[in-house]
Structure 1
Amino acid sequence: MTKENDFMELYQAWKSLPNGSKAELRRCTKPDDLLEVPAFYRLFGGRGEKEWQKKAYQRLIFCLPCIEHTEQKISLGAALAGGRKGERPAVSESRMIQVIRNQTPNDMIQLRRILKQVEPKVHWPLMAKQLWYWDYNERSKRDLLEDFFINQSDK
């Protein structure tokens, strides 16, 4: 099974949760809050063998309640920038830079606040791949910022 299939399987499991379980996950304000929520364990379901993989799934599940999947290949940076040239960015440049500059867990907390505000439509496997390597590879954060600026309007 490919990682993209794993990510879509996680998204489908999220979509099939009862509304009460989804609400429990939405109320979490930081990634570690998930560890006290039964719905997290229903989604996590023993995924990830190594500690870094478990943390990666925790990031994915933390952000899941704040996005909507689309089959269009829309990246997170593009969605937060407004998605198309000529549109006003959904998020300010300073808020995006704040996310990138913060360290764990504040970077995820700031990102999730932005996601809650914007409720972006993204291609979940693209976003999930970026979050998967978020702490492991600084390039993920830089890619998000670059993608955001590339997809912004020149106005």
Structure 2
Amino acid sequence: MQELSKQEIELLRILQLNARFDITDLTERLNMSRTSVYDRIKKLENEGYIKDYVAIIDPKKVGLNFTVIINVSLNSQRLELVEEFSRQVAALDEVVEGYVTGGIFDYVLKVVVKDPEAFNDFIRKLSDIPNISKVQSSFVMSYIKQSTKLHF
């Protein structure tokens, strides 16, 4: 990928704050024509800078009141077992974020469910996945920061 122009960087900064952009506002803020703005957006999408456009939903408004951070260690680090674990975890709807990590644990998962009972159901599903040696859960009491904004 080639280096981004100043206008493209500013366009990314604007879009990450509000992807429901007003094209007139963008043309004025970036001092570009409508066609140029649309072309830049299409380029940024095609090159993978913009992955998706989404609405950020308040989980509590839809009845998902229980967030848990789960650390997982695996028994074996054999590539095929790690890939299989990753594939199965990614297929679980309750997992909203998942990371392969270095250090004490192999994975960190963020799980959002309705309540402790739903979390217990999730743990049963998780425990059916082979190769898990240890699971440690931390229950989120409150949020101090939630953001999708990247600083670049």
Same fold (TM over 0.5): no
The structure richer in helix per residue is 1
Q: TM-score range by the shorter chain?
A: under 0.3
- TM-score w.r.t. length of structure 1: 0.24
The structure with more strand, counted as a fraction of residues: 2
Greater RCO, CA 8 A, separation 6+ = 1
